[in-house]
Amino acid sequence: MTEQDDTIATITAGYTFTGPAVELGAAVVAGTAHPRAQVRVPLGVLNRHGLVAGATGTGKTKTLQLIAEQLSAQGVPVFLADVKGDLSGISAPGEPGERVAARAAEVGQDWQPAGCPAEFYALGGIGPGVPIRATITDFGPTLLAKVLDLNETQESSLGLIFHFADERGLELVDLKDLRAVIQYLTDDQGKAELKRIGGLSAATAGVILRALITLENNGGAAFFGEPAFDTADLLRTTPDGYGVVSLLELAAVQDKPQLFSTFLMWLLADLFHDLPEVGDPDRPRLVFFFDEAHLLFSGASKAFSTAITQTVRLIRSKGIGIFFVTQTPRDVPADVLSQLGNRVQHALRAFTPEDAKALKATVSTFPRSPYDLDQVLTQAGTGEAVVTVLGEKGAPTPVAWTRLRAPRSLMAPIPEEAMRTAVANSPLFPAYGVAVDRESAFEKLTAVQAQVRPEEAQAPAPDEPARGRAREEKPKTGMVEQMMGNSAVKSMLRSMGTQIGREITRSLFGTARRKR
């Protein structure tokens, strides 16, 4: 038996599983694909997370499409962040052609066109898709601090503001609600409240307020509001057992990368907050593909990075698998990278010394193999990748240079008109399609202030000595203290704060969700 035969036999044995699996392609040895050496991923290990990496133009997007359509066919819901707007074709059958037929023959694939049940979403309704919104309260201070590019001190101060709003029953639905609370606290009459909640400086509050105004002016207001999206809607299956593929269309907000990457983390944090523990199921509840993952970690505070690591580590037991999609493994922190058991590494380009360092670092993360990975990773063609995954017993499989299968769905975007029709006919559109602006912190504070001032205006003016004694006996109070002492609103705020306090709990990221 030759060395090539040994390699083929090792790969064939390493990727032969007893249970259901996702088919990736055929192993390449000495430049030739060998259909008998099929490379696959066991369905039961896809909640152990993964990484899809490679240079631009090497086929990462089609790899996502290939994996997602097979998961859907096996009853697993999928979430795809469509940053470039070219994944909508997963909803339509693919088109046969010479290139597809040639690839199918090379890898031993019985290719038949098939689309997947798909739901299209858009952040705040910017672009085609069912709007996904979150309230400021649900989003929480940690993630919002990342969006606002706050430092750790300012992030801590924002947490105090959220604590104050939660305690007082001031629901933060949209940006104007949070601005209203900060404006009360930074008013001359609110300085006592600033001191009471932990010494938050007026200067820091001003920085946060200016950052909120900038976010609003840049279009961020569309993402925060109601109706708030229920992430349980990402876990749907069709009556005939297919998993629904949820595509978040982000092409219209590519110029707001920090916002959309953080918003994706909110979706994960909210799922983590809500779902019960399931251990290691035979198939995941949901597989979540996090495209442009480097944007999430860029400029992240230590607390934020720690929270990401904890979420990735713990959400596995909730039945959620996460695939980070980026250019090199170095884009992902080591603590997170160590949690990613399934690896699909497309080609890298070594045009600069920095590229060469990235290549060397990437090779060092793979187990030993008969391949010269330095050479393979610079010479692999489009639609080829170096693969190693976790086997059914949790051990890494042999490294396999793999020629990937062709997706069965359309490898191009569907027309925008077709997408808009699908959105209009979505069963979720009546629930989320129209924004609602109900009474929340802004309206409540405005109403309370209106009730406080008439009482002050109607009160009889004391004589000068009485006013002097009043100043000596009673220190100046803040606006919110006046509200709490006002007989017309005291009962309302007390009961409201008690109810909110019972209903809000915050997770690792400070995200919250009302009891449903």
For 346-375, what is each residue's pLDDT tens digit?
999 888 888 888 899 899 889 888 899 999
Looking at the structure, tell me whether residues 242 and 338 fall in a common domain.
Answer: yes
Domain boundary among 354, 389, 424: 424
Looking at the structure, tell me whether residues 113 and 174 fall in a common domain.
Answer: no
Looking at the structure, tell me whether residues 474 and 362 fall in a common domain.
Answer: no
Looking at the structure, tell me whether residues 11 and 113 fall in a common domain.
Answer: yes
CATH number at residue 91: 3.40.50.300
For 256-307, what is each residue's pLDDT tens digit?
777 788 888 888 888 888 889 988 889 999 999 988 888 888 777 777 788 7
Query: DSSP state, 324?
Result: E
**Total domains present in the chain:** 2
**In this structure, is residue 388 part of a structural domain?**
yes
Distance between alpha carbon 507 and the CA centroid of its chain, in Å?
15
Looking at the structure, tell me whether residues 7 and 143 fall in a common domain.
Answer: no
**In this structure, is residue 433 part of a structural domain?**
no
Nearest 5°: CA angle at 473, between 470 and 477? Answer: 80
Q: Which domain holds residue 199?
A: 136-223+439-503
For 93-148, what is each residue's pLDDT tens digit?
999 999 999 999 999 999 999 999 999 999 988 888 999 999 999 888 988 988 88
- The amino acid that residue 50 corresponds to is G
**In this structure, is residue 509 part of a structural domain?**
no
Looking at the structure, tell me whether residues 397 and 453 fall in a common domain.
Answer: no
Looking at the structure, tell me whether residues 105 and 236 fall in a common domain.
Answer: yes
- The amino acid that residue 49 corresponds to is H
Indicate the pTM of the whole model.
Answer: 0.85
**In this structure, is residue 71 part of a structural domain?**
yes
Looking at the structure, tell me whether residues 37 and 67 fall in a common domain.
Answer: yes
Residues found in the chain: 516
Quick check: 58 and 332 in contact, CB under 8 A? no
Looking at the structure, tell me whether residues 312 and 416 fall in a common domain.
Answer: yes
Residue 451 scores a pLDDT above 90: no
Looking at the structure, tell me whether residues 191 and 296 fall in a common domain.
Answer: no
**In this structure, is residue 103 part of a structural domain?**
yes
Domain boundary among 359, 393, 424: 424
Residue 84 banded pLDDT, cuts 50, 70, 90: confident
**In this structure, is residue 19 part of a structural domain?**
yes
Looking at the structure, tell me whether residues 408 and 358 fall in a common domain.
Answer: yes
Looking at the structure, tell me whether residues 237 and 361 fall in a common domain.
Answer: yes
Domain boundary among 363, 394, 424: 424
Quick check: 468 and 431 in contact, CB under 8 A? no
